[in-house]
Each structure stands twice: as structure tokens, then as C-alpha cells.
A and B are shown apart, each in its own frame.
With several copies, the nearest count.
Chain A
């Protein structure tokens, strides 16, 4: 059990920080502190607000033997699998979108390149529920999804039972998953770890709660007073969070609602260059670099254009909060 205790040794007396313990760190330190070889990791977002920079940092730090516990997962998983970081994936959907096909994932599952990727499938709702059960600290949550199909046949963690209340219905029991670490990218967070999400939340509130440790990467660290203005948007409270790193454009090349649009040309280039191993390794060489260097390489003009695009369709954060 680690989702607990904002408190510390109660006897050590007063603390001068007016707002409690601060958790600010940098991306490199956060990954080094919480993601270890063999860790299980859940990532936030879903083809939008994904913690892409954090995943690239995991690759840069050459973590191995990871299990990714997740829902639907796109680019960042494909990169990590191609780079040899991941041994197992538990989730609902892998691939990418219209213009890229998860080449590394297929290559790992079908051809064991760079090594075999073990898959354990659930449905999307099953994925939400495995985190819900983890967040609730109960062994399982029941659902009607996945009944009558082969998903439970190939995922031994799922159980099918008869409704103990005697309705005659069958139910799928989805067991709790508790990732060692959840990594969630959000628009804003305060130094205590109160993370606010604009727009859709996907399963991020549940992943942060289910995980033993949570790293928040955010576009912007704001003051705790700023958080207090819209408490309804704090979907991840401080007591579930261990580290907060300000990582602007941390979802590039994906979207960050209200902040910037997806860089689809960059993404397409990844899709093309991940089609064969040699090109992919060159892509890694080129783009697995510290996030500051990455952004510089992308270029300020390009980033600004992506911001302008998003602001054209969705009101920017400063207007919304």
C-alpha cells in the first residue's frame, strides 16, 4: 500500500512550506526515481495528452523488462517496444492511427524483434475496470463485457462466474491491476500534485489511484491558489502523486486539448521510418534525446503553429479556467 499518507513522521513538528510538501522535480529524475527495470507502468492519455516525453525519457534511460498496463496505446508504446524496453503489454488496443501502423509492436509479437512481446488482451471497459478495482482496493469489479468471447480464454486473469445473487446471468470479473507507476500528462498541476485535466480524462484518474507511485508531467506548474479557483477540474489529487515535472509540449507529437494540436506530419514520418528496423534505429538515434533538445530540434515556430491550431478550435487554458 502506498497510496496514502500525505503525512509523514507526525512528530517532526512544523514545516514552513505554507501549502504542504512540494513534489517538483525534473523529468529525468522522476523517471530515474520511479521507473526501474522490470517495473509495471501505466501511461495516461489515449492518442491525445499522452506522456510522450516521459516515454522517450524511459527509452533514453534504457529501462528494460517493463510491463505496460494500459488501455489503448499508440506511438509511445511502439517506440518503447522497438527500443526493447517492454516485455509484456496488458490492455485493450495497440497500434496507432490512420497513418502509422504499430510496426514495432507487430514485429515484436509476430517475429520476436527485438524480442517477444507478451500480450494479455482485455476490452476497453475491461481496462477501465482493472484500474477501477485497483483504485478501490478490491480484488475485482464485475462486468458484462467480454462474455461469450475469446478474450477470457486467452487472459487467465479474468474469471467468469454465475451471479451470486441468482439472476442466472454470467459475469466477467476483472481483477485489480496496480501498476508500480502511473505516468500522467496534464495541462496544469500545482507543486503539491493537484493535477487538473481540461477536456476528456480517459482513465487517468483511475490509473493515478491504482498505481503505487504516480508521476505527473504537466504543461505548466501553477500555484495552489490557482488550482483552488476550479476545484472541479482537479481529477488527480495530491495524495496520489509522488513527483511533478513541468514538461512543456510533453505530449508532442500528440494533441494536448486547449494547448496544442497534434503534429501529424512528424507522426507520419515516424510511421514511415518505423516500417523497417534500420530506419527505426536511426529514428531512435535522432529523436531519443533530452526533452529540451527534442523541442529545440522540432523548432519554436513549429510548436507555436501547433498552439495556434489548437487555439483555433478549443479555447486556451487561460480563457477556460
Chain B
């Protein structure tokens, strides 16, 4: 890339994009919502999380995303403040414009208008080379240095016969190792924010400052953790720092859900609330609440109504895109 573009190993680069309010442009309000930049009157916690994660993706960035909330945030970013970001998925699609909710990592909505359809080995080759700016992953446990566990909750048992078997790394290890920076989305639970993860699946800031560099990683590791209560960053030591709490969440409540002595920013802010435009767009991307509210109602209605509902949503989003 040309000289003036900061590189991943440029200390400036892994900084997260700002989330200050910007003047809405047409591309950030494609639905034509009234007063698009005003705080939404009603929004759910999940919508707040999706919007917060979306703002971790800046315009023109390549964003390595998975299913569920991760992809929802990527699609929201692309339809709002980051129209030139390009989405990358590990199954082999780059630059697609998904017209709706994604159910699996090879969901054919990820093929819609893709720039590249290739294989997984090539995607992760490029990831290892440092081609991607930001990744968004999930995890079951996390420690104060952002090391995550999505493999096993061992408890007093063993890896082979654990208390809870989780899905496994998927791409989360590879993304945390090599992606420019990584955002982790998790539930804020004391048992999950642990002093010692049962199994280290993906490398956060590892054991000590400089540990990642020693191992030769091109990625800068976790830059943010977004939970249902708060947003955390990481300080120069690689320790998690509480940056903001969601509206009406006291700092103490967050502390209670963390096993270690939590570092807290000098000025803990309140997480920026979603705008009217953002909430409207989210509801257009996922009108059936599959991701956002985790409800199954669209599947309960029977096959015919399901298929008609899905088709209708696709057409709606595609018409936005065509404009």
C-alpha cells in the first residue's frame, strides 16, 4: 500500500476509530429517517451493542467478521458510517453486501455481490500476512489481558471431559494472532471475566507487555471488549481498562462482574447511544430479530410465512442498496 497509509505495525494504526457524532450523510441514513442523528427513543441493549461494535469499523477498512452480532455490526457499518469498508469472512467471501441476517459462515447471502469468492486457506494466508484491519470475535471467557477461551470450561474436570464443551477456536485464534486489531464481544459475567481462563484459545496480550512482539505476531491483539454492560479498552501494559458503561450502568456493577481488580479510565464515559438512523437500519437488516433479540418467532410461523418474510426483507435491503 502506498506510503502515506499507516501500516499495521505503525503504532498509530491500531487505534480504534472515534465514535463522535458525525454529520449524517446520505450514505449514513439510506432509509431517510427523520432526525437521523438524534438518539433513538427506544432501543434494546442488543441494538446498543451492535451499534457500538459497528463503530469499531472505520470507513475504508477491511473487517474480518463472523456470524451473529459480529456480522450484524459489519453490515450495519457498511450501510451507515462506513460504506467503503469491506467485509471478509473465513469461508472465502470478500467484499460482499449481504442483504440480511447471516445464519452460517457460508450463508449464501455472504456471496451476494462479493468481490472475491475464494478458499479459506487463502483468506487466512492474507490474514497472517496482515491484510485485514479489524476483526470481531466472540468468546466464553476472557482474562484481564484479553486472552480468550472459546474451547472448554474445564472446571474440576479435564480438557477431554470438560464441564462445558464450547464450539472451539473457529477463526478466533487466527484473527487475534494476525488481524490489525480485534474487538471481542461477550456477556459480562463474573465467571466469564476471570483471573485465569480455563483454556487459552485466542492470544490477547498474553502474559506480559511485549510478549506478542516476541512471538512475531503481526496483529496488535485485542483493542476493545464490548459487553452488555460496558466497553473496555487496553492500556499500554496490555491490561483491560473500563472506558465506558452503558446508560444507567454504575461502574460498581461492572466491577462486580469482573474477578480481577479492574483498571478504570480516569474519566469513564457513558456509551454513546444508538441514533434513530442506526436503530432503523438495524431493524431493517434483522427485522425478524433473529440476532438482535435472539427470538425464533420467524421460524415458528411455518415455512411459507418464513420464506415470504425473508424474501421481503432481502428486497427491502436491496432496494436501499440500489439507491
Contacts and interface: CB of A to CB of B under 8 A. Distances in A.
Chains A and B share a contact (CB less than 8 Å): yes
**Residue of A45, A121, A239 ringed by the most chain B CB atoms within 10 A:** A239
B120 A124 contact: yes
Nearest to A17: B84
Given A7-B61, A110-B164, A201 B119 contact: yes
A283 B13 CA distance: 49
Given A121-B169, A149-B201, A213-B1, A14 B104 contact: no
A255 interface: yes
Given A93-B167, A99-B299, A148-B206, A234 B107 contact: no
A91 B169 CA distance: 9
Q: How many of chain B's residues touch chain A, expressed as a range?
A: 35 or more
Interface in B163-221: 163-165, 167-174, 177-178, 180, 199-203, 206, 211-212, 215-218
Given A5-B8, A19-B84, A144-B216, A228 B115 contact: yes
Contact of B18 (A11, A94, A99): A11
B125 A209 contact: yes
B273 interface: no
Nearest to A200: B92
Contacts of B121: 125, 128-129, 131-132, 203, 206
Interface string A106-120: 100110100010110
B257 interface: no
Given A1-B130, A125-B174, A268-B296, A202 B218 contact: no
A-B pairs with lowest CB-CB distance, top 5? A48-B106, A47-B104, A200-B92, A10-B58, A7-B61
A309 interface: yes
Contacts of A14: 22, 25, 27-28, 59, 81, 83
B161 A109 contact: yes
Contacts of A145: 124, 128, 173-174, 177-178
A169 interface: yes
Interface in B76-129: 81, 83-86, 90-95, 99, 103-122, 124-129
Contacts, number: 390
Contact of B164 (A106, A147, A169, A213): A106
Nearest to A34: B2
Contact of B167 (A46, A95, A143, A192): A95
Contact of A71 (B17, B120, B127, B306): B120
Contacts of A119: 159-160, 165, 168
A205 B95 CA distance: 18
B291 interface: yes
Contacts of A292: none
B129 A209 contact: yes
B162 interface: yes
A65 to B, nearest CB: 18
Interface residues of A, number: 120
Interface of A: 1-11, 13-15, 17-21, 33, 45-49, 71-72, 74, 91-95, 97-99, 102, 105-106, 109-110, 112, 116, 118-119, 121-129, 131-132, 135-138, 143-151, 154, 167-170, 192, 194, 198-206, 209, 213, 224, 227-228, 231-232, 234-235, 237-240, 242, 254-258, 261-266, 268, 302, 305-306, 308-310, 312-314
Interface string B215-252: 11110000000000000000000000000000000000
29 contacts: A2-B1, A5-B1, A6-B61, A7-B5, A17-B84, A47-B106, A48-B107, A72-B170, A97-B104, A110-B164, A124-B90, A125-B121, A132-B121, A144-B215, A144-B216, A145-B177, A148-B203, A151-B201, A168-B216, A194-B115, A202-B91, A206-B119, A209-B126, A209-B129, A235-B118, A239-B132, A256-B108, A266-B303, A309-B307
A91 B311 CA distance: 34
Given A4-B130, A143-B128, A224 B115 contact: yes
Contact of B114 (A192, A228, A254): A228
Given A110-B165, A200-B110, A203-B121, 16 more contacts: A1-B8, A3-B129, A4-B130, A17-B84, A47-B105, A98-B291, A99-B296, A102-B167, A110-B164, A200-B106, A200-B111, A205-B122, A239-B132, A242-B2, A254-B104, A314-B108
A313 B168 contact: no
A273 B228 CA distance: 30
B201 A203 contact: no
A277 to B, nearest CB: 17
Contacts of B84: 15, 17-21
A102 B8 CA distance: 37
A56 to B, nearest CB: 18
B283 interface: no
B120 A310 contact: no
